[in-house]
Amino acid sequence: MKDFSCPQNMYSLKSRDGRNICFAGGDGCYLFDETGKEYVDLWNGFGSVLLGYNDEDIVKGFNYLISNRALSLQAPTSYLKQLSRLLLEDYPHKSQIGIFPTGTSAVRAATLAALQKTGKDFVLSSGYHGWDVMWSKGTRLFEPNSYGVIDFYYIIEKLEELVHLYKDRVAAVVVSPDFSYFGNAFYGKLFSICKENKLLIIVDDVKCGYRYAWGPSLSPEAFPADIYVVSKCIANGARISCLIGNEDIMKHISDFCFTSFFDIYSTASAVITLKKIKERNVQQKIREAGDRLILGVEQIIKKWGLPISITGNGNLFQFVLASSELSEAFYQQCTDNGIALYKDDNQCPSYAFDDNALRKVLSKFEEVLSSMALMFPGLLGKDIPIKRFHLAAYYQTDGCAEAMDYDEKVSLITELLYR
């Protein structure tokens, strides 16, 4: 973000000259840049604006805060009580919540609590858990990094092997569920390995918690975890992440206090968002609209004969493209034509994505794909190499899709991270 005097490499939409596009506002599923250009938004603030921009209940809630002189309040409020209640009713066997500003800090807190509770020093991990260096890769593949974390990249055989190798040192398994590339068979094996070996399970549900339905993305009956972390879907973009667990582990976060703990903006946003998604069956409506979108885009892709596929479902999906050149061109064309996407990663329609937006975005995709058919005549009718699916899975999950065989998994990770 050099044009913002900031070294952090935040993803954002780029104009053709490489500058970050600056936005002025948003309405429902539309974003507007500073020139007034409109974008149909599937980027969705990295999947964090579930209700959409300028949502009437969020606006009403903020007007209420203003008229009740609650802006800038930094003290316990009834919102905090409501937030605990709203979350805990979706986690039937849990009794406490923890509050953090981001998924990064919340998952770090959960993991530190697990280490503290068990007195052990290793953690086995799959998936992205934020920027903290505790998740950085080890010097060698499948060996602990200097913080005792070993990434098994969703390779279940490797998890089993590591558990046996480091039996008495492993405190917990930390996993970020993903439903585009992993099914119940995967989670079943993972949970049974943890149960057999008495390992704590931390579900980093930052991306998927409340994404497909209320509460945990994995059924708490079939897949009971020790701590859950939720964030992206609970507060319509406000800066908050919550831990959900029981006292035996949660007591170890008692000293994790910070100045803006009581922050009224994020607490109120979370309460308003959680209430609305419960009342309106928000995830189901997103799913239906998103599925129609996927179907429509697939038809256009087929019509133009481009080697592009879509994985996932209407709540969260990903484009898989036959080559990196095709990918570069596709995302830039989409930006130019007014479709905001999260490049190479997951797309998330919001609750505000309606039939009108569907028509609009399909005609934009028609523009994009017709001009790409002219740009890439040699690719028309070609298949997508299987490797591109594996890469897409890695871009979305930081791991290896369940469908790959063991050797493919190990060689993909070696190629991407250890060469």
Question: Between residue 178 and residue 207, which ones bind a copy of itself under the rule CB under 8 A?
Answer: 206
**Residue 309 lies near a copy of itself (rule: CB under 8 A):** no
The correct pick among 15, 73, 291, 329 for binding a copy of itself (CB under 8 A) is 73
Shorter beta-carbon distance to a copy of itself: residue 31 or 306:
31
The correct pick among 29, 52, 349, 402 for binding a copy of itself (CB under 8 A) is 52
**Residue 256 lies near a copy of itself (rule: CB under 8 A):** yes
CB of 144 to a copy of itself, least distance (A): 14
Using CB under 8 A as the criterion, what x/- string covers residues 15-34 for binding a copy of itself?
-----xxxxxxxx---xx-x
Shorter beta-carbon distance to a copy of itself: residue 11 or 418:
11
Could you tell me which stretch among 53-61, 159-167, 304-312, 403-411 binds a copy of itself (CB under 8 A)?
53-61
**Residue 112 lies near a copy of itself (rule: CB under 8 A):** yes
Shorter beta-carbon distance to a copy of itself: residue 59 or 380:
59
Shorter beta-carbon distance to a copy of itself: residue 253 or 392:
253
**Residue 102 lies near a copy of itself (rule: CB under 8 A):** yes
CB of 36 to a copy of itself, least distance (A): 12
**Residue 286 lies near a copy of itself (rule: CB under 8 A):** no
Could you tell me which stretch among 84-92, 285-293, 366-374, 377-385 binds a copy of itself (CB under 8 A)?
84-92
The correct pick among 143, 247, 325, 415 for binding a copy of itself (CB under 8 A) is 247
Per residue, the 3-state secondary structure of the chain, as one string, reads CHHHCCCCCCCCCECCCCCECCEEEEEECEEEECCCCEEEECCHHHHCCCCCECCHHHHHHHHHHHHCCCCCCCCCCHHHHHHHHHHHCCCCCCCEEEEECCHHHHHHHHHHHHHHHHCCCEEEEECCCCCCHHHCCCCCCCCCCCCCEEECCCCHHHHHHHHHHCHHHEEEEEECCCCCCCCHHHHHHHHHHHHHCCCEEEEEECCCCCCCCCCCCCCCCCCCCCEEEECCCCCCCCCCEEEEECHHHHHHHCCCCCHHHHCHHHHHHHHHHHHHHHHHCHHHHHHHHHHHHHHHHHHHHHHHCCCEEEEEECCEEEEEECCHHHHHHHHHHHHHCCEECCCCCCECCCCCCCHHHHHHHHHHHHHHHHHHHHHCHHHCCCCCCHHHHHHHHHHHHCCCCCCCCHHHHHHHHHHHHCC
